[in-house]
Structures are given as structure tokens and as C-alpha cells.
Amino acid sequence: MTHTILRLPEVKTRTGLSRSTIYLKVAQGSFPKPISLGDRAVGWVESELDDWINQQIKESRDETFEEEDWS
């Protein structure tokens, strides 16, 4: 199985989040943890990031439907 590793600039582009928000969410356990690529380099597994993005979309749409039900 081949994994693609994304560096921070690509993660920021795909999520729309800032560096500080990404690391805050990692610390809170609500964002995929990066993997070590060396002494001073980290990256994110693309499939884990894609799963996280899809979950955010699902949760956002579920909340939208719940809000509409209350109208």
C-alpha cells in the first residue's frame, strides 16, 4: 500500500486552517497527528487528512439539517 505524505503548506491549503489552528487541533486530539519525517520535518498521511475533511463535511451537513428541522 502506497501512502502520500503531505507537508504543512499543502495541509493548510486543503483545510483552509492556519498553522497555529492545525497544531492546536492536533493537541486537542481533533485533527490527525503528523508523522515524523526526520529531526525537524513532519508530514500528514493524505488518507487520514482526507478522512478528517470528509468527517467535517458530514458533521457540518448533519448540523445544517438539524437546524432546518427546528424551523
Nearest by Cα to 53 from 4, 12, 3: 12
Choose the weakest-confidence range: 28-37, 47-56, 61-70: 61-70
Q: What is the pTM of this model?
A: 0.84
Nearest by Cα to 32 from 42, 58, 1: 42
pLDDT value at residue 64: 62
Mean pLDDT of 41-46: 98
pLDDT value at residue 62: 85
pLDDT higher for 70 or 12?
Answer: 12
Nearest by Cα to 11 from 33, 40, 36: 33
At residue 33 the predicted structure's pLDDT band, cuts being 50, 70 and 90, is very high
